[in-house]
Amino acid sequence: MLETAYVLIRLERNTPAEVARQVRRVSGVAEAAVTMGEVDVLGIVHEDSTKSIAAIKRELEAIEGVGSVSVCVVVRP
């Protein structure tokens, strides 16, 4: 079963639209959208394991302008 996570990205610089475009290029990211509020970009990740999600987080943190990345793994009871 695929694991799903919501990725909350806050920026230090760069435009949210440009970062969202770069986030969409990361393997495992199904969707990325610019948001208005506490976070600048929201991503949805689908992967085979939560270990893979951790690797995606590191890749997102390396995008220029990204200040912080928080991951919320979806738990289906």
The pLDDT of 6-12, averaged and rounded, is 97
Per-residue pLDDT at 77 exceeds 90: no
- pLDDT, one tens digit per residue, over 21-44 is 999 999 999 999 999 999 999 999
In 3D space, the residue among 2, 6, 1, 74 whose CA is nearest the CA of residue 44 turns out to be 6
CATH code at position 25 = 3.30.70.920
Question: In the numeric block, which tokens belong to residue 57?
Answer: 């987080």
Tally the domains of the chain: 1
Per-residue pLDDT at 14 exceeds 90: no
Instruction: Tell me which residue range forms the domain holding 22.
Output: 3-73
